[in-house]
Structure 1
């Protein structure tokens, strides 16, 4: 397999896989109306597929690149840092942000609440938690891309 083609696949899948993390907090931005939040949560549900597929391909292609490439030791700081950053993004997004977002979405998108014009306090807290976790995941995503861009060539 051509290593340049594999690098292309890896970079594109990383962008597609991690990319939605960078705007998930935008979908949950403050000062939205409840109707805007409903739309944002619907869009967010559609975007969940990208990290699942793109992220999986990025990990597999990254491991294949390490195996096929001339990167020396796996313990190079950029390789280890990239792997740790990716795992942290997954833990933050899947373990913390998404559960809060799903609970929020459960209330916001519940047909019995469609006439509501304001969120109750516990839903506002879920909204803030999800948004903050997505900000954290975005921050780690920037670190991930820094590791990948500044790696030795």
Structure 2
């Protein structure tokens, strides 16, 4: 396996490191029924959050390197659209989801001493994040399809 093959495998593994947690973390968070379960769920998702960060860095490095060694550059429309959608997804996650999640984590940590019942404010905040998370997941699927199918 040459350099191209190694880079391609790393690129694919990095995309899995991003996509996997992005689909699993919301399911884990939404499955919690008590404050204790929420603390556990947020503990897990906080630990899983490192995977997309590392995966994202590897994905960018290997993607740029693949573009250089194949001399593709930005000449392919599917690649340009993929990059644009990726940037939009990063803005959604870092700019819209993360700040809201920090607020939710604060509410959960403050309610730890108030029994086992999940605060109603938590449910309202989660309902506001669900459409944004769904949009980010749909962007991930679109990017994946563009990378695999290369339609244009």
TM-score where L is the length of structure 2: 0.86
Q: In the alignment, what sits opposite 1:123?
A: 122
Contact preservation (8 Å) 1:18, 1:55: no
Q: In the alignment, what sits opposite 1:97?
A: 97
In the TM superposition, what is the alpha-carbon distance from 1:32 to its structure 2 partner?
Answer: 2.9
Deviations 1:90-132 (A, max 9, x none): 111111112111211112133x534333343433222222333
Q: In the alignment, what sits opposite 2:53?
A: 52
Correspondences of 1:38-117 after superposition (within 5 Å): 38-71=39-72, 74-110=74-110, 113-117=112-116
In the TM superposition, what is the alpha-carbon distance from 1:45 to its structure 2 partner?
Answer: 0.4
> How many residue pairs were aligned?
150
RMSD: 2.1
TM-score where L is the length of structure 1: 0.85
CA 1:118–1:125: 2 relative to 1, 3 Å: same
Contact preservation (8 Å) 1:29, 1:131: no
Point out where structure 2 has 5 or more consecutive residues left out of the alignment: none
Point out where structure 1 has 5 or more consecutive residues left out of the alignment: none
CA 1:14–1:90: 2 relative to 1, 3 Å: same
For residues 126 and 115 of structure 2, the distance between their equivalents in structure 1, rounded to whole angstroms, comes to 16
CA 1:114–1:43: 2 relative to 1, 3 Å: farther
Contact preservation (8 Å) 1:28, 1:127: no
